[in-house]
Structure formats: C-alpha cells, structure tokens
Amino acid sequence: MKYTAFVILMMFSVCMKAQVSDSLLVHRAALDYLEGFYEGDTLKLQRSLSPALHKYGYYKDKTGQYEGSQMTFDEAIGFARNVLEKKKFPKPDAPKKIMVLEVQEQIACVKVVAWWGMDYLLLARHGDAWRIEQVIWQGPLKTVAP
C-alpha cells in the first residue's frame, strides 16, 4: 500500500512539474511577444510567433468607431523593425501584464495588457517550444485590468 501511494505521489509530482514548466514557457512566449513589440526585437517575435500567425484586432478610427485590422507574421516583424528604426518605444510605465489563463498538453491561452490595448493569445506546442498561433485584441486600453 505504501509503495502504491508513493508511486501515485511521484506520478503526480512529475505531472505538476511538467505543468509548471509549460506554464513558464507559455509565460515566456507571451513576454517575448510583448517585449518584441515594445523593444522592436524581431528575434523575440520570431521565437514566440508561429509563421502562420493570425492576429486580428479592433481599434478606434478618427471618428471614434471601431475598425478591424489584421496582422500577419511578416507584418508583425515589420512593425517591430519600424519601432526600432524610428525609436518609437512605449513610455517606461506602459502596461505590460501577462496572465496565463490555461495550459493544456498542446494548447494554452494567455491574456496580455499592453499600451495598445488588451490581447488574448492562443498558443500551441511546437516540439519543446510554445508559439502564438492566434491573437485577438482591442484598443485603446480603457483601464488596466487586474
């Protein structure tokens, strides 16, 4: 009986360690995403984004109405290059919040709060790495959510 309890405890421990490790990797991918756009760091974006990225969001146009906009992987890399070239960095106190909402064996969901608004990231496991497959966002940010 003691042996069975020990084996069950060890299996639980291994599963929990894998979950914590995956959560940290998912958090790292989300941080690379934010820092990639904030710092104009294309390497961080390449590390965190799937080449098949589908990013779609809503921003307010000049009339105050929401309008949709899509961004591909290549456009995300181009945006980051532009940030770096033109030195259009966000203010030092710009929001940078990451909340890992769920991590499964192959997929994960993260909420990100940034200077431009709020993003929901859907990630997938690619071997040992986690990559952002889809993003839906809305800006401007009304309030910084907890």
Domains along the chain with CATH numbers: 2-138 (3.10.450.50)
Q: Please state, for a pLDDT cut of 90, what percent of the chain lies above it.
A: 73
**Does the pLDDT at position 87 exceed 70?**
yes
pLDDT digits (tens, 9 = 90+) for 44-78: 999 999 999 999 999 999 999 999 999 999 999 99
Pairwise CA distance, residues 128 & 33, whole Å: 18
**pTM score:** 0.82
- Helices (runs of H) and strands (runs of E) counted in the chain: 3, 6
Element at 45 (helix H, strand E): helix 42-48
Does position 6 have pLDDT exceeding 50, yes or no?
Answer: no
Mean of the pLDDT values across residues 111-130?
96
